[in-house]
């Protein structure tokens, strides 16, 4: 291999071989000039806790991979399991094509430097490093570190467009990121009809078409003290081990509950799921099922695969075209085959566009996506101020005080708030890494608007636990629901989680499944708020001393006149005075709704309103939102990141060796500092006998 010319392909959010611009180039271009290709996946030590990969009892050279505000694990057990499965599946696929995948752990820039240096020491020429351009400040710094090294080493560096999205970046028709509309509807209208916009899918490389994998004898091994497991199961176990006990008292999996997301990660599983959805009429009926709460067949469950790039949005679109146009005989037995675009398949494309839009907003606003005050980047003194669980960030007269807020936060993450729908969703998330889009909207609204707690704790909790976490979707959607994002109505949109439970959990099955202690209560209003039950019923259910009854975090008065409204044509509200129509709220997976009337279903197609303050169906009424006295604002004083702005993820979003307010102040932060950048509660918080879990999730769309 003395005449070798190796290209190092750094795989990140593109864990697939099909519809992949880099594998396509390597497989089809006659003049790329490379004799060998070295696909490499680096487990980033600043985002994934890697201490489980140490086998000799040594200390990790890296700080714990915890979040800035809450001190939660960056990647919880469900996420790392899905990641390990996806990486392992990619390795198998590449090997089947005659290539391979090197797996390493560390900081991306350092690993690339060691990899290239080791190859050079073996008299191997490394001609280039290729990687896909990803969103996120940490990801951008990785790219910059690799580009800088390549320049110093005299190697070619190429940053490829991330092509896993619905509309290619080169086709969006915007001169710059600054031109991204602040309102989704404006962007959507400029792109319709959506069916005509995506580019063609790139074919999967044929066996033997990729440059061969270098001989293992010349590839530098993993730097100590880490050891890369040889099997998929060993990799899963090593990554899950250090983060599995994110709650000190992890509740048992309820006997009556089942996971809505039992799918394993990887490109193979992604396409299996896509084909199943079409053949089972899941795509055709998407509009009618996506607001479900129980089972695998509501919504597409493709979001986790999209987040890691196991499948692309245009692959989904292409499969839908084959079904709609009757050109893919694999789908000939599906109902609606050859009948054109349906309401369901149109809804899928709509949601894929929403994902695109969240990423474009991330590009436009950059690190403002992590700021407490959101995209707007200013503090309006007339607006409510946020509440904090630590004294350092709270106003002296904060009410409730920080200790009380800390206990509320602990109960919120553990699912013991006393609000049935919220608790069920939180417990489902703890056990499965998934909860429905409808539930996510309610959880975020309850946390940010009913409780008034710093919304970033919720966003980080979701980041830790959600198997389908995506940085742009999670943070932009949390800002949206918290009223500090690009929602035109901001604070005015508030979900009523009691009414939402009546609308979407009509017989209480969902709440009873995930909060089994409530299963003996017969009346729905008691299931959704146990404190409303009679003393007799509480004693019969053994709940008279339960904290959800004796001390619910929030009480919402809600009475049902007759039967619960069918998917409520109007939101629950108190009537008073006169007011015209209002625009429906935007869910974390929808738009403002058609014509600003009746919007707010999370498919964004102008369906019924389900929020206290959302627009009615024409009846002139005034919505009086339920509000707490909670106030919130920006934290006072600097964070723990050492000089970074205390309003967002510091000067740096990661444990990178740099100055400024990085996560914990860069590499100098001692391992185990779980308090987070703002000195927030440690990873395990004890309050009221309940232990909080750690996670950031995303209120992203279902697809």
* Mean pLDDT per 10-residue segment, the chain (703 residues): 87 98 97 96 98 92 97 98 99 98 98 97 96 95 98 97 95 92 93 95 98 97 96 98 91 94 99 98 93 94 98 98 98 97 97 96 94 76 80 94 97 97 98 97 96 98 98 95 83 90 97 97 97 97 97 88 40 34 33 27 31 33 31 34 34 31 34 36 32 36 57
Q: How far is it, in rounded angstroms, from Cα 302 to Cα 290?
A: 12
Tell me: is residue 301 an annotated ligand-binding position.
yes
Q: Annotated binding residue at 165?
A: no
What is the tens place of the pLDDT at every residue in 168-210? Answer: 999 999 989 899 999 999 999 999 999 999 999 999 999 999 9
Does the annotation flag 469 for ligand binding? yes
Which residue, chain included where needed, has tokens 């009223």? 483
Q: What is the pLDDT of residues 649-702, one digit of tens each?
A: 333 333 223 333 333 333 333 333 333 333 333 333 333 333 333 333 334 445
Which residues lie closer than 8 Å to 552 by C-beta, 6 or more apart? 417, 418, 419, 529, 530, 531
Query: What was the pLDDT predicted at 493?
Result: 83
Any binding-site annotation on 323?
no
- Closest listed residue to residue 567, CA positions, set 438, 653, 672: 438
Consult the annotation and say whether 655 binds a ligand. no
Whole-number Å distance between alpha carbons of 304 and 318: 19
Q: Was 303 annotated as part of a binding site? A: yes
Q: Tell me the torsion sign for CA atoms 589, 591, 592, 593.
A: negative
Say how far apart CA 634 and CA 594 lie, in whole Å.
34
- Tokens representing residue 294 in the block: 């129980």
Residue 191 known to bind ligand: no
pTM: 0.82
300 annotated ligand-binding residue: yes
Q: What is the pLDDT of residue 534?
A: 97
Whole-angstrom distance, CA of residue 628 vs CA of residue 491? 13
At 24, give phi and psi (nearest 5°): -65, -45
Does 299 belong to an annotated binding site? yes
Please tell me the predicted confidence (pLDDT) of residue 379.
Answer: 56
């Amino acid at each position: 291999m003395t005449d070798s010319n190796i290209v190092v392909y750094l795989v990140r959010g593109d864990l697939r071989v099909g519809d992949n611009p880099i594998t396509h180039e390597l497989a089809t271009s006659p003049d790329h000039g490379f004799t060998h290709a070295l696909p490499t996946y680096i487990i980033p030590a600043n985002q994934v806790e890697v201490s489980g990969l140490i086998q000799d009892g040594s200390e990790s050279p890296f700080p714990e991979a915890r979040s800035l505000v809450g001190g939660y694990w960056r990647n919880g057990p469900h996420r790392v399991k899905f990641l390990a499965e996806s990486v392992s599946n990619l390795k198998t696929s590449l090997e089947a094509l005659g290539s391979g995948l090197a797996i390493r752990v560390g900081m991306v820039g350092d690993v690339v430097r060691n990899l290239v240096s080791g190859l050079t020491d073996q008299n191997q020429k490394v001609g280039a490093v290729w990687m896909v351009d990803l969103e996120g400040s940490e990801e951008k710094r990785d790219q910059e570190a690799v580009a800088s090294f390549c320049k110093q080493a005299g190697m070619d560096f190429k940053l490829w467009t991330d092509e896993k999205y619905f509309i290619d970046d080169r086709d969006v028709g915007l001169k710059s990121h600054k031109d991204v509309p602040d309102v989704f509807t404006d962007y959507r209208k400029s792109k319709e009809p959506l069916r005509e916009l995506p580019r063609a899918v790139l074919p999967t490389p044929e066996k033997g078409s990729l440059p061969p994998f270098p001989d293992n004898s010349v590839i530098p091994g993993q730097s100590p003290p880490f050891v890369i497991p040889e099997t998929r199961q060993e990799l899963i176990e090593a990554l899950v081990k250090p983060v599995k006990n994110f709650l000190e008292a992890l509740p048992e999996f309820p006997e009556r509950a089942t996971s809505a997301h039992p799918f394993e990660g990887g490109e193979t599983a992604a396409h299996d799921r896509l084909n199943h959805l079409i053949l089972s009429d899941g795509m055709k009926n998407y509009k009618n099922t996506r607001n479900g709460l129980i089972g695998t067949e509501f919504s597409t469950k493709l979001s986790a695969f999209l987040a890691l790039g196991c499948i692309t949005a245009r692959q989904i679109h292409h499969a839908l075209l084959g079904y709609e146009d009757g050109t893919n005989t694999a789908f000939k037995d599906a109902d609606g085959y050859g009948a054109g675009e349906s309401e369901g398949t149109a809804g899928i494309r709509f949601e894929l566009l929403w994902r695109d839009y969240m990423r474009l907003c991330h590009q436009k606003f950059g690190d403002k996506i992590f700021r407490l005050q959101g995209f707007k980047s200013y503090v309006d003194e007339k607006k409510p101020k946020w509440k904090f669980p630590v004294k350092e960030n709270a106003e002296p007269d904060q009410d409730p005080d920080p200790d009380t807020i800390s206990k509320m936060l602990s109960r919120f993450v553990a699912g013991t708030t006393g609000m049935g729908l919220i608790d069920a969703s939180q417990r489902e998330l703890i056990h499965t890494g998934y909860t429905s889009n409808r539930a996510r909207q309610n959880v975020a609204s309850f946390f940010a608007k009913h409780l008034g707690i710093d919304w970033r704790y919720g966003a980080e909790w979701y980041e830790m636990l959600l198997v389908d976490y995506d940085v742009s979707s999670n943070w932009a959607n949390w800002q949206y629901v918290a009223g500090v994002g690009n929602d035109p109505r901001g604070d005015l949109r508030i979900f009523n989680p009691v009414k939402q439970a009546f609308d979407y959990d009509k017989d209480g099955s969902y709440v009873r499944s995930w909060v089994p202690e409530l299963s003996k209560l017969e009346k729905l209003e008691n299931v959704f708020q146990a404190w409303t039950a009679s003393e007799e019923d509480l004693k019969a259910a053994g709940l008279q001393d339960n904290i959800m009854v004796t001390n619910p975090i929030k009480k919402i008065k809600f009475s049902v006149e007759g039967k619960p409204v069918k998917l409520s044509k109007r939101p629950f509200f108190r009537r008073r005075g006169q007011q015209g129509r209002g625009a429906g709220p935007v869910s974390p997976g929808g738009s403002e709704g058609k014509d600003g009337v009746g919007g707010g279903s999370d498919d964004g197609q102008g369906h019924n309103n389900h929020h206290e303050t959302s627009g009615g169906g024409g009846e002139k009424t005034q919505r009086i939102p339920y509000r707490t006295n909670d106030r919130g604002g920006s934290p006072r004083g600097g964070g723990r990141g050492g000089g970074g702005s205390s309003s967002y993820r510091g000067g740096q979003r990661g444990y990178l060796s740099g100055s400024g307010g990085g996560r914990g102040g860069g590499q100098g932060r001692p391992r185990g500092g779980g308090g987070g950048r703002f000195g927030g509660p440690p990873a395990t918080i004890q309050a009221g006998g309940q232990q909080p879990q750690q996670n950031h999730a995303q209120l992203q769309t279902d697809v």
